[in-house]
A and B are shown apart, each in its own frame.
Chain A
């Protein structure tokens, strides 16, 4: 392992899920810091704000994005995020994590190049471990 992931971002409105992932990350010691947004709008506001003062420590290396969320859903977030993602000076790997097994959603996600992969809930502890491992090597 060359380095430990510094900051991971979860965008999901299911607090139970967020809570559990948090516990797994802590238990397995997968990354140093975790930030959580309950919907796409809050997350987008954050990313737009850090563009003005590029504090590298505040930019996550991994984003786990849910699709079904109130206020601003995952698709809308992706649309806006894709426009600004090259301005961070840092590679941000984005995973969609959704309980939707609708093939239309999976196909749509594959066609967005800022999406690294589409994970269907429930994610397994092994999935999470391998994502963090791959990212850090």
Chain B
């Protein structure tokens, strides 16, 4: 009795229907819970194995269940099986059915029992679970999958590919216009990768710029590999896109910092060289002069030599001024930028060198329509214009009056100032790498000092810009400043 009570409690906790199997005569008693789960009343069905097999059990499960049931009945072989039972609502419900010995709890019973545990949506649940992990992984790593089917000539994207490319969930990707998913400068690369993969089966794993539906360009790691059929023919390409814009942007920023550091290092090196070379040449002259003075007895000659000291001291001063200018550029770089009108800066410069301009009959043509003003250190812009204009006049072509063309323009995301002249030009093959060096002169002019372009370059670079030069002997020179 006590045992019976315990049994009943367990059965209740199980919340499952069951059959009690009785011998002599063989019969099964279906529990109330069993009727309840499949939705029939006792009158509607006959609780026999034959009826069950014929009317309620799913056809595909019949053979195995009959086998199991009879084996248990006759030979006491326990079993566990998944079966589908037709409910009154006309749907098959999934059950895990097990004999009492197969149950996790040891239920002592005088009769044999078969339990039917309803499994609510279990097969689907498994898929949902996998799907959940897959979605989690895809979303957390911003990795979308895709497949290109060559036979159907179609592309397939998963939800994450659509998400990172900012297309709606029902968007159908286009295979024909697939170039539009890539940034303009990456299209050729993408085409090459897919072509090689499709033709010779070369897998790819690369970083490439793509474009979202909202025209935002971003960096993606694109991985793809060929898909083969049984005949080892390539029938498609399968792969993933991972949004790596954050990392790539950081990487590019880091690269930019490295470039800046390298350029600063090279400037520092240059500066050390200048200090050692240019200051040393004066001091060594001074020391040579002193030796000479010491070796001379004639007081008049000695006095004459003292004049030379004046000269050395004045050149020493000039050099130190130049060095000072360079150092100032780099301490000034944090100076506040102001909005400067190109035309105003140019006017100031031309006023300053008016005599030089008119004497040389120089024509200055300026067009600042595209960019009229810029945030810059005003003194630098004036100095840059002054250096490049005076250079153009100093190195004018002997056969023609100088014409200097100054324009501003925008290209891509960058702003430029271009200054071209019709002067005698510089032999780029000979001097290309030296043009912006200090104390480098390329012409035979006596007033060539070799400091102007060096300063200009330093000024431009100290404000994170770039200066380049193109030149052809006898045609002219063009300087381009990228701000």
Q: Does B47 contact A (CB under 8 A)?
A: no
Chain B contacts of A20 at CB under 8 A? 285, 288-289, 292, 308
Q: Tell me the nearest residue of chain B to A67, going by C-beta.
A: B277
Q: List 16 A-B contacts (CB under 8 A).
A: A17-B288, A20-B288, A20-B289, A20-B292, A21-B288, A24-B288, A68-B439, A70-B440, A71-B441, A71-B444, A99-B277, A102-B273, A121-B280, A122-B286, A124-B288, A125-B295
Q: Tell me the nearest residue of chain A to B286, going by C-beta.
A: A122
CB proximity to A under 8 Å, residues B291-329: 291-292, 295-296, 305, 308, 311-312, 315
Asked whether B292 lies within 8 Å of A24 as measured between CB atoms, the reply is: yes
Chain A contacts of B312 at CB under 8 A? 16
The answer, among B281, B286, B292, B439, for a CB contact under 8 Å with A125, is B292
CB proximity to A under 8 Å, residues B265-296: 273, 276-277, 280-281, 283-289, 291-292, 295-296
User: How far is B304's CA from A19's CA once the two chains are assembled, in angstroms?
Assistant: 13
User: How far is B421's CA from A58's CA once the two chains are assembled, in angstroms?
Assistant: 42
| Residue of A16, A71, A100 with most partner-chain B CB within 10 A | A16
User: How far is B288's CA from A17's CA once the two chains are assembled, in angstroms?
Assistant: 8
Minimum distance in angstroms from A101 CB to a CB of chain B: 6
CB proximity to A under 8 Å, residues B404-428: none
Task: Return the 4 tightest CB-CB contacts between A and B, nearest first.
Answer: A122-B284, A121-B284, A70-B441, A99-B280
Q: Tell me the nearest residue of chain A to B315, going by C-beta.
A: A16
CB proximity to B under 8 Å, residues A71-107: 71, 99-102
The answer, among B281, B291, B311, B444, for a CB contact under 8 Å with A99, is B281
- Knowing A16-B285, A20-B289 are in contact, say whether A102-B444 is a contact too (CB < 8 A): no
Q: Does B442 contact A (CB under 8 A)?
A: yes
Asked whether A124 lies within 8 Å of B284 as measured between CB atoms, the reply is: no
Asked whether B273 lies within 8 Å of A122 as measured between CB atoms, the reply is: no
Minimum distance in angstroms from B302 CB to a CB of chain A: 12
Minimum distance in angstroms from B432 CB to a CB of chain A: 14
User: How far is B273's CA from A17's CA once the two chains are assembled, in angstroms?
Assistant: 19
Asked whether A122 lies within 8 Å of B441 as measured between CB atoms, the reply is: no
Asked whether A68 lies within 8 Å of B288 as measured between CB atoms, the reply is: no
Q: Mark A119-134, 1 if CB is under 8 A from B, else 0.
A: 0011111000000000
What is the total number of residues of chain B having a CB less than 8 Å from a CB of chain A? Answer: 28
Q: Does A48 contact B (CB under 8 A)?
A: no
Q: Does B62 contact A (CB under 8 A)?
A: no
Q: Does B203 contact A (CB under 8 A)?
A: no
A: residues with CB less than 8 A from B are 14, 16-17, 19-21, 23-24, 27, 68, 70-71, 99-102, 121-125
Q: Does B448 contact A (CB under 8 A)?
A: yes
Besides the contacts A27-B295, A27-B296, A122-B283, what 5 more A-B pairs have beta carbons closer than 8 Å?
A16-B315, A102-B276, A124-B291, A125-B288, A125-B295
User: How far is B308's CA from A68's CA once the two chains are assembled, in angstroms?
Assistant: 22
Asked whether B276 lies within 8 Å of A100 as measured between CB atoms, the reply is: yes
Chain B contacts of A27 at CB under 8 A? 292, 295-296
Q: Tell me the nearest residue of chain A to B296, going by C-beta.
A: A27
Q: Tell me the nearest residue of chain B to A125, going by C-beta.
A: B291
Q: Does B239 contact A (CB under 8 A)?
A: no
Q: Tell me the nearest residue of chain A to B284, going by C-beta.
A: A122
Asked whether A99 lies within 8 Å of B308 as measured between CB atoms, the reply is: no
Chain B contacts of A102 at CB under 8 A? 273, 276
Minimum distance in angstroms from B398 CB to a CB of chain A: 18
Chain A contacts of B283 at CB under 8 A? 122
Asked whether B281 lies within 8 Å of A14 as measured between CB atoms, the reply is: yes
Chain B contacts of A71 at CB under 8 A? 441-442, 444
User: How far is B434's CA from A71's CA once the two chains are assembled, in angstroms?
Assistant: 10
User: How far is B281's CA from A101's CA once the two chains are assembled, in angstroms?
Assistant: 11
Q: Does B450 contact A (CB under 8 A)?
A: yes
User: How far is B276's CA from A68's CA once the two chains are assembled, in angstroms?
Assistant: 12
- Knowing A17-B284, A99-B284, A122-B285 are in contact, say whether A68-B291 is a contact too (CB < 8 A): no
Q: Tell me the nearest residue of chain B to A12, going by C-beta.
A: B281
Minimum distance in angstroms from A29 CB to a CB of chain B: 13
User: How far is B287's CA from A24's CA once the two chains are assembled, in angstroms?
Assistant: 13
User: How far is B281's CA from A122's CA once the two chains are assembled, in angstroms?
Assistant: 8
